[in-house]
Amino acid sequence: MEAIKKAAVYMDHFKANIIEYTNIATVIKVIKSEFNHFEKEKILQKGESHLHNKEQDMQDIFYKNIREELQDYDEVLLFGATTAKTELCNILKNDNNFTNVEIIVKNTDKLSDEEQIVFVNDCFYIN
């Protein structure tokens, strides 16, 4: 029997830590959104309507990059303090590549890198 491949994503709207779990959790990649405070100020100079469109485009790319990292996993845990995890969950559930992937969403407070590892170890160890 092949081992179940598990990954977790601690995220907000600007950054995602991809954490792989085999017998212990390990951060394997950090994905950052191109949309940040500096970029927002730069775009605002062109007008507020331009800001919304550019922000949406950058968020779409951010979620696409995360989605690509998660394609080879059987179980995915999405967690964090913002609604970004729920937004990503909805994107994954609408993607045919994730039909057979168990997706778990958990709310947490803001966590340090060490706390994220402990959280993932606890969640996947219990399963």
Confidence at residue 41, expressed as pLDDT on a 0 to 100 scale:
67
pLDDT digits (tens, 9 = 90+) for 5-41: 999 999 998 899 999 999 899 999 999 988 766 666 6
Supply the CATH classification number for the domain 6-126.
3.30.420.60
CA atoms within 13 A on the CB side of 77: 26
Q: Where are the domains of the chain?
A: 6-126
With a pLDDT cut of 70, the percent of the chain lying above it is 82
pLDDT digits (tens, 9 = 90+) for 43-81: 666 666 666 677 788 889 999 999 999 999 999 999 999
Q: Which helix (H) or strand (E) holds 12?
A: none
For residue 82, name the pLDDT band (cuts at 50, 70, 90).
very high
Q: With 60 as the cut, is the pLDDT of residue 1 above it?
A: no
Query: Model-level pTM?
Result: 0.87
